[in-house]
Structure 1
Amino acid sequence: MSDTVRDLLRPHDPDSLAIGALDRPWLTFGGLNDLADATMASLNAMGVGRGDRVAIVLPNGPEMATAFITLAGCCDTAPLNPSYKEDEYDFYMSDLGAKLLVVAEGDDGPAVSAARRHGIRIARLSVPEGAAAGVFTLAAEDGAGGTAANPGPSGPDDGALVLHTSGTTSRPKIVPLLNRNVAASARHIGAILNLTPADRCLNIMPLFHIHGLIAAVTTSLAQGASVWCSPGFNALQIFTWMDTAEPTWYTAVPTMHQAILSRAPRNKESVARAKLRLIRSSSSSLPPQVMTALEDTFGCPVIESYGMTEATHQMTSNPLPPAEHKAGSVGLPAGPAVRTAHETENELLAPGAIGEVVISGPNVTPGYESNPAANEKAFFEAEGQRWFRTGDQGQFDSDGYLRITGRLKEIINRGGEKISPLEVDDVLMDHPAVQQVVTFGMPHPKLGEEVAAAVVLREGQTAGERDLRDFAADRLADFKVPRKVIILDEIPKGATGKLQRIGLAEKLGVSG
């Protein structure tokens, strides 16, 4: 069994296709393995090896995909958002203790400035003319060599990927993920999607985010399948890319799916040519209405999965047909053990009881780095296993499918009455004029919180705040009906395209 990122690449036909991109020759698995060997040799010659942290700041595309895959097999990678400001790079590189920064040749942006201020060495990534997709060379900017303390390929317990939690309400926590965590997650996702070397993923997810890195890139390569790397999500280009790449699947967050659906009527011929076997959705809740529209449009199943950074992405997933996939559910445990637990007591609950979703398995991080207080809150022992608290509230149905009722921090507490924002979202999404909705808590002087909703209307449709409140009032108990509905052209999103409830009231300047 492969328990390292490097091992995931080894067993496949060296002549089969691995990495593709627009206007570039395909990189084969043989070429990718050669690149992994060359990259390890380059890093070791710079004095970088296993256990050393290497920050990667590259644009989306084939080189970002291969840089992660090849570096993760011989050091600890820390992909960072290319759109960060210098202060953000300053914090993350310092917090991570990065030894090296990998950037594109000619990049003199804020990441480089931050690295120089901290005395972090810089390696320049360059692409040889006419090279296959993802092929690169690395050279130390200072030209100096070094001796790696721990050279050679990483083992199962060596770090592969280190990320920060989003840190919406507090200082971001460092999440170290080992080679064995990454390998386990890639196996779990590949199994649930039944991926084979005949499959091809169109990657439109950002590759500084675990969804794209693990679900799209690593999982595809682990199964001997190919991945075609876009330069980043673009709803205007997605159908051209589908025609060029001829993928059998893609994975995305719900806002991307909604943008694709909005362009589908203008691209009917491309939709008809599409050879999609499945569409995967993860990283936030997929409205059932969007699932139905995607399936009607592309004629393939939409598989909703549930993931988070601490689990190296996937925890549960809906299965492929002929098994049932349930709209509004995140499916069955898909690798790790998944249960519900008491929110404050270290006690697992009976099947069917609503509680905090907890997980245990080989894909789960060993724990937050240098943060014993956070680990004390997040991990506990029960029934002979170590469990991680996800911070999500959920409930299993009689068939064992999990339904997320909300983030515990996002549950709206209206004078002691608890409201799940997802429940209100689902109701408002049934209104024919509504394209997108995010329900959130806004401050209230007497109740503590009141219900509010931000809404984007469908093109050419009209609806007022009163219309939408009345629509909700016919379908929800009075205390769940939004007291404010804000109609927007676009709802503010996070860096990965996810809609964010926490802090939305402040961003929009609303209160009860």
Structure 2
Amino acid sequence: MNTLHHAHWPQGLPHELVVPEASVYTNLQVSALRYPDKAAIIFYDSIITYSELHAEVLALAGYLQRVCGVQRGDRVLLNMQNCPQFIIGFYAILRADAMVVPVNPMLMTDELSHYIADSSAKTALVSQEIFSRLQPLIGNSILQNAIVATYSDHLTKTTSLNIPDFVKAERQVPEQAGVCSWQAAVTAGYQPQAHMATPEDLACMPYTSGTTGKPKGCIHTHRSVIFNSVASPTWSGSIVANHVSLAVLPFFHVTGMQSVMNSMIYCGGTLVILPRWDRDVAGQLITRYAVSNWTLVPSMMIDFLSNPRLAEYDISRLNRVSGGGAAMPAAIAQKLLDLSGQVYMEGYGLSETMAASHVNPPQRMKQQCLGVPYFNVDSRIVDPTTLQEVSQGETGEIWIHGPQVFQGYWNDPQKTADSFAELDGKKFFRSGDLGYMDAEGFFFFTDRLKRMINASGFKVWPAEVESMMYQHPAIQECCIIAAHDAYRGETVKAVIVKKTGSDVTAQDIMTWAHDKMAAYKVPKFIEFVDSLPKSGTGKVMWRTLQEKEAAKAK
């Protein structure tokens, strides 16, 4: 095990962390007991205290069990943007001893049908503005129940902030068998049964995709989820209820879920929620509520610091600005430092590790660096062919052993087996990412073994997009690659061979794709070609196209 990085370990912190032997729900229960009248959530100036949050969680958990028939170990879909109901729903599902299946609210009906069928989710919590995408599946699949949340139910105070129309929309939940409004569910008066979940029970299953083209569920227990909920705030040296976090990174994504939502609930901190990025409202909220913690992706910071109104906002009370998913441009990191005195803290993690496995030490932060393996984590750089550890400075695959590593992929024992390997008597997760370790034990990313596009932190898997693109009647062949994007870092490009006689245009295909898949997966660029390069066995040589595209950006 490498210990070079121990020389730069945060002062006063142990190398091994002891975390609660409990369910993730108990973190909320404890914070509600400790801080009943403290603001847990601020939603466009409307405040929900910890006692109010806990009470609504219990009421919803009771409805899930008594009316929807949710039982221990069942999977429940959670499909909405950042809002109070996401947090309530997340903890209510856990309180009902069930497993949260968080999904991207940008997903369309065809995509959602896979998540429902694969997870066997019979119940879904969904927000009103995207309910129409889920509605056709109720009763026509294994999905039997949907509780529909209206964001404006939690707008209880007049505000000068700009509220998007979809947030302030009035309640409009259709009457349909199996469909209930959120308000009706939490006011029904049901109480949950005794909480039974242990650290080994199923807790959360975020989905990730891969070369097979179909998203796979990452199985996490309460033990693996609770670890980073505790480790994240501990790493910065302060588990205090004074924290105020701007929660704009999506909660359905493990970084927003763990480093923001669950960490703040554990600390008893305050979550200032934005459902959708708005640089002016973000600046107003940071100023108004003395935001101390902000976890983000680089594209948000680029946009925030380019705002002509930036001088109107007070960001001086920020004491932790962090993120991952993509490297922060050096010029943007320097501008943040000049304005706030904050060095951007970069980290690294995956859905399989329930957020971070590597983070930069607060007192020794390197830019465009993954950081060091943090609490309880053993990470190695391994030759992906020989499966032997490489020398310091050499590139290899990043392997991870730690308490936050998932149990495996849902319904896919072969993919699970392929994703783990043993080294020095330990079971390591093979990340599929390539990197190297420097002389001080810091890890750096270089490339991917997996074929994946990273668009502003959203992971796009070409095989999945290709499988959907082939549904278009004019597409003979299609290869999805990454194209450079100044704002998103990478974006999606489709290289297409049209069927003979087709006069379809690039715009036609993009318009069609918007109805079939989440917007971040839709190709931003389309190139028509006569043929795709292929190997002697007939496989499309996507890497040849990718290298050609990369050469254009130089």
**Residue matched to 1:306:** 348
In structure 2, distance between residues paired with 1:510 and 1:331: 26
Cα distance 1:10–1:376, how it changes in 2: closer, same or farther (>3 A)?
Answer: same
Is the 1:342–1:355 Cα contact (8 Å) retained in structure 2?
yes
**Residue matched to 2:179:** 141
Q: Which moved more, 1:358-367 or 1:238-247?
A: 238-247
Q: CA deviation at 1:494?
A: 8.1
In structure 1, distance between residues paired with 2:281 and 2:192: 45
**Where do 5+ consecutive residues of structure 2 fail to align?**
1-19, 158-166, 455-461, 463-478, 488-513, 526-541
Structure 2 counterpart of 1:456, from 444, 464, 486:
486
**Residue matched to 1:317:** 359
The amino acid of 2:63's aligned partner reads S
Q: Which has the higher contact order (CA 8 A, sep 6+)?
A: 2
Is the 2:244–2:270 Cα contact (8 Å) retained in structure 1?
yes
Cα distance 1:155–1:296, how it changes in 2: closer, same or farther (>3 A)?
Answer: same
In structure 1, distance between residues paired with 2:344 and 2:419: 31
Q: CA deviation at 1:255?
A: 1.5
In structure 1, distance between residues paired with 2:249 and 2:322: 12
Secondary structure of 1:117 counterpart: coil
The amino acid of 2:26's aligned partner reads D
Q: Does 1:329 align with 2:369?
A: yes
TM-score (norm 1): 0.75
For residues 257-406 of structure 1, the aligned pairs below 5 Å read 257-263=301-307, 265-270=308-313, 272=314, 274-320=316-362, 323-335=363-375, 336-406=377-447
Secondary structure of 1:211 counterpart: helix
**Residue matched to 2:510:** none
Q: CA deviation at 1:250?
A: 0.7
The two structures, once aligned, show a CA RMSD in angstroms of 4.0
Q: Does 1:216 align with 2:239?
A: no
Cα deviation 1:12-67 (Å, max 9, x = unaligned): 3223321211131x222233332332222221103102210111222321211221
Q: Percent of pairs identical after alignment?
A: 24
Q: CA deviation at 1:326?
A: 0.7
Structure 2 counterpart of 1:109, from 114, 132, 136:
132
Secondary structure of 1:116 counterpart: coil
In structure 2, distance between residues paired with 1:79 and 1:96: 11
**Residue matched to 2:43:** 21
In structure 2, distance between residues paired with 1:317 and 1:101: 34
**Residue matched to 1:235:** 279
Secondary structure of 2:139 counterpart: helix
**Residue matched to 1:118:** 141
Structure 2 counterpart of 1:166, from 204, 209, 212:
209
In structure 1, distance between residues paired with 2:98 and 2:381: 35
In structure 2, distance between residues paired with 1:498 and 1:405: 26
The amino acid of 1:141's aligned partner reads V
Secondary structure of 2:312 counterpart: helix
Cα distance 1:39–1:301, how it changes in 2: closer, same or farther (>3 A)?
Answer: same
Q: Does 1:67 align with 2:101?
A: no
Cα distance 1:99–1:504, how it changes in 2: closer, same or farther (>3 A)?
Answer: farther
Q: CA deviation at 1:261?
A: 1.8
Q: CA deviation at 1:243?
A: 2.5
Q: CA deviation at 1:103?
A: 2.3
Q: Does 1:42 align with 2:63?
A: yes
In structure 1, distance between residues paired with 2:384 and 2:228: 26
Q: CA deviation at 1:212?
A: 1.1
In structure 1, distance between residues paired with 2:233 and 2:142: 40
Cα distance 1:349–1:70, how it changes in 2: closer, same or farther (>3 A)?
Answer: farther
Cα distance 1:129–1:312, how it changes in 2: closer, same or farther (>3 A)?
Answer: closer
In structure 2, distance between residues paired with 1:292 and 1:168: 37
Q: CA deviation at 1:217?
A: 0.3
Q: CA deviation at 1:364?
A: 0.5
Cα deviation 1:331-370 (Å, max 9, x = unaligned): 1112322111121233334444421111011110011122
TM-score (norm 2): 0.69
Secondary structure of 1:19 counterpart: strand
**Residue matched to 1:7:** 26
**Residue matched to 2:100:** 77
Secondary structure of 2:30 counterpart: coil
Secondary structure of 2:409 counterpart: coil
**Residue matched to 1:202:** 246
**Where do 5+ consecutive residues of structure 1 fail to align?**
412-420, 423-440, 442-448, 458-491
Q: Does 1:252 align with 2:296?
A: yes
Secondary structure of 1:55 counterpart: strand
In structure 2, distance between residues paired with 1:95 and 1:503: 30
Q: CA deviation at 1:72?
A: 2.8
Equivalenced residues, count: 434
Cα deviation 1:454-508 (Å, max 9, x = unaligned): 3539xxxxxxxxxxxxxxxxxxxxxxxxxxxxxxxxxx998679999999968x9
